[in-house]
Amino acid sequence: MERWFISFLVLLAAITMSLFSPATVYRSFPLIFGLVSVIGYILKKLFVFDTGIFFTIISYLFANSGISPSVYNLLVIMMFFFLLIGIWFYARSTLFISGIEGISSDEYDIGLSMFRRSSLNEILTTILMGVLLSILASFIVLYSSLGITMSSLTETLLMIVLSVSVFFITFLVIKLFSLEKIKTGRDS
């Protein structure tokens, strides 16, 4: 169940990234590489999955390389990057758990369940802190290096709130699904 959900998330993120890209020839690249990573995840081929995610992000940047430097565009790119990176880390964690062989015992269930919750919390905390640091760093870079004038303060704050809200909603959805009883052994 969890495996299919994460595959769906990756695919959904890849589709959304393609849709949010300008209508050029390269628009479909994030989707193609997203499919590669989904195939790698389903087949439990870690290298294929990792490489697929890497090229999904790079191809998304490539497809969007011509967009104008604005706060809105910056936040959209940031949102997709951190969303995909967060899913990537969590997916690797589930692959690692499914790689641990074993037959059911209560202690084993509890141990894995605790590991799963702890790792999810840790991933989300790190991602969130990364987002905050990125926002700060990006604004500084944008404003100081590229000489872009910022839009009005209200619009800027609204963009920040919106992007962080999207992130939190995703976090809540993942957390809700991760609360179901963990099946031992390989993912079913």
Partner 1 sequence: MNIRQQRPFAYLVAFVVAGVILGNLFGSWVYFTVTIFSLSILVMSVRSLPPKEFKIDIERGSAEEGKDVYVDDELEITINIKNEGGKIRFLEIHDIIPGLLEVVEGSNHQVLELDEGEERELNYKISCPINGNFELGPVSLRYRDALNLFSNEMEIEEEMELRVLPRTEDMQKIDLDPSYTKHWLGEVKSKSIGVGSEFFAIREYQPGDELRDINWKATAKYFDPLTNEYEGERSGDVILIVDGYEEGIVGTMENNTMRASIDVAASLAEVLLSARHRVGLIISGEYMNWVYPGTGRNHYHKIMSNLTKFERGGTWGLEGIKWLLEEFFPRKSMIILVSPLTVPSYSSTLIDLCMKEYDVVLISPDPLKIEKEVMEDEEYEETAERLYSAERERLLEKLWDHGTTVVDWDPTEPLEPTLEEVLRYRHRRR
Interacting residues with partner 1 (CB under 8 A): 46, 50, 53-54, 57-58, 61-62, 64-67, 69, 74, 77-78, 81-82, 85, 88-89, 92-93, 96-97, 100-103, 105, 107-108, 111-112, 114-115, 118-123, 126-127, 129-131, 133-134, 137-138, 141-142, 146
Closest approach of partner 1 to the CB of residue 174, in Å: 14
- Please choose, from the candidates 8, 30, 10, the residue with its C-alpha nearest in 3D space to the C-alpha of residue 19: 30
Closest approach of partner 1 to the CB of residue 24, in Å: 13
Q: How far apart are CA 34 and CA 18, in angstroms?
A: 10
Closest approach of partner 1 to the CB of residue 35, in Å: 19
Q: What is the DSSP string of 3-28?
A: HHHHHHHHHHHHHHHHHTS-SSGGGG
Closer residue to partner 1 in complex, CB, 9/57: 57
Closest approach of partner 1 to the CB of residue 85, in Å: 7
| Other Cβ atoms within 10 Å of 110 Cβ, number | 11
| Other Cβ atoms within 10 Å of 129 Cβ, number | 10
